[in-house]
Amino acid sequence: MGKEALVTGASRGIGRAIAGKLAEAGYNLRLTCRNSERELLQVQEELQELYGISCRASVCDMGDYGAVRRLFEGIGELEVLVNNAGVSYIGLLSEMEPAQWQEVMNTNLNSVFYTCKMAIPLMLKHHAGRIVNISSVWGSAGASMEVAYSASKGGVDSFTKALAKELAPSRISVNAVACGVIDTRMNQCFNEDERSALRDEIPADRFGRPEEVAELVMKIIEAPEYMTGQVIAIAGGFAV
């Protein structure tokens, strides 16, 4: 029986890259997305064919507690949880509707609580586990026009540090990756002038690649369990 991992938001971008790295390492996968079922099924088929692992794909709104509970009814074993599902909102806070705020918080922060609540008992059975939360440098630095996103990722950072202390006696590590500007579909809303201005702020003079984030996530998963409670930035030298 192989090792089992759950990756949320895995239909594209960072989540897809992380799923690929886990499959390459021999993990059986449970992958989720909220809207992109066709893309997710393509990822499932590709990874099963390439690596011979078991991969189950589920459409699931990770910000809906009932949906997450139903997802976990089909999961009996879990060694690794990667919380990657996320959405952004770009605009003035004064023009943001409460429903839009709540969507960001549900998807980016509440989902992390829901999955961890469900995953912890599975990991406690074996007194071992790895939880990696995908965060953002904006959770620490804050980003103008992205107040809700920044607040949600700041919450993820604090959640990570606190839960790590709670689970350390049980040999379950909890860490986060704070991404800088990664070249994904989420950032394609910016025009070329805006993208150029973003690049000017990055000492590495480029956006990061999803594969680079995935490599870091794998290093964290494979790190000694004594490394826990860390929020590790991958941002091309961007000063947080």
Q: Is the pLDDT of residue 1 over 60?
A: no
Q: What is the CATH number of the domain that holds 173?
A: 3.40.50.720
The string of pLDDT tens digits covering residues 13-32 is 999 999 999 999 999 999 99
- Is 27 annotated in the active site? no
What's residue 184's pLDDT? 82
Query: Which residues form the domain of 167?
Result: 4-234
What's residue 157's pLDDT? 98
Considering the domain boundaries, does residue 132 fall inside one? yes
The string of pLDDT tens digits covering residues 167-220 is 999 999 999 999 999 988 776 667 787 778 888 888 898 999 999 999 999 999
Considering the domain boundaries, does residue 68 fall inside one? yes
Catalytic annotation, pick one of 27, 51, 114, 149: 149
The string of pLDDT tens digits covering residues 94-137 is 999 999 999 999 999 999 999 999 999 999 999 999 999 999 99
What's residue 78's pLDDT? 98
Considering the domain boundaries, does residue 75 fall inside one? yes
What's residue 69's pLDDT? 98
The string of pLDDT tens digits covering residues 59-73 is 999 999 999 999 999
Considering the domain boundaries, does residue 100 fall inside one? yes
What's residue 199's pLDDT? 86
Considering the domain boundaries, does residue 69 fall inside one? yes
> How many separate domains does the chain show?
1
Considering the domain boundaries, does residue 22 fall inside one? yes
Q: What is the pTM of this model?
A: 0.94
CA distances from 118 to 11, 69, 110, 122, 125 (A): 22, 7, 13, 8, 13
Q: What is the mean pLDDT of the chain?
A: 95
Considering the domain boundaries, does residue 98 fall inside one? yes
What's residue 188's pLDDT? 65
Considering the domain boundaries, does residue 239 fall inside one? no
